[in-house]
Structures are given as structure tokens and as C-alpha cells.
Amino acid sequence: MPLRKWHEDKVGIFAMESAVLTGKIIKREKDDPRGVKYVIEGVGRDHSTPIGVVGRFKETGIFLIITVYAIT
């Protein structure tokens, strides 16, 4: 599965939000010295477009989004 940048996939902020809220954590990547990265897969606002979101929790508890992509 090739990864592309969110602006290439035209994933908007509402689609990204929907993917995080409806998705599930499918993978935890613990090999990064900056902290654990979480891979979330969910669906966009249209309820059909699969979207992946990669991020990590900051010390403040905020989820920092690193990248977003449409799953093809």
C-alpha cells in the first residue's frame, strides 16, 4: 500500500476527525525515541472512505497528528 500525503489524497479536516472518532487503533509503534506512535484506521465523514491517521500523545495528553492518508 503506497502512502501519499494528505493533500494529495484530498483528506479534509472533517474527514480526519471522523476517522479518529470512528476508528480503531490497529498498531502501536514503540521504536521511536520520541514516544509511541499510534496508527488509527477509520472512515471519513462520507462513512465510506477509509482513512489512516498516525499520531502520538504528548505529555499534556493532547493527541498530535503526524500524518493522514486515504487507504487505497
Domain residue limits, the chain:
6-70
pLDDT at 1: 46
- pLDDT tens digits along 3-59: 555 455 567 888 899 999 999 999 999 999 999 999 999 999 989 999 999 999 999
pLDDT at 56: 96
Is pLDDT above 50 for 71? yes
As a whole number, the mean pLDDT across the chain is 87
Q: Give residues with Cβ within 8 angstroms of 70, minimum separation 6.
A: 4, 9, 10, 11, 49, 50, 51, 52
pLDDT at 37: 97
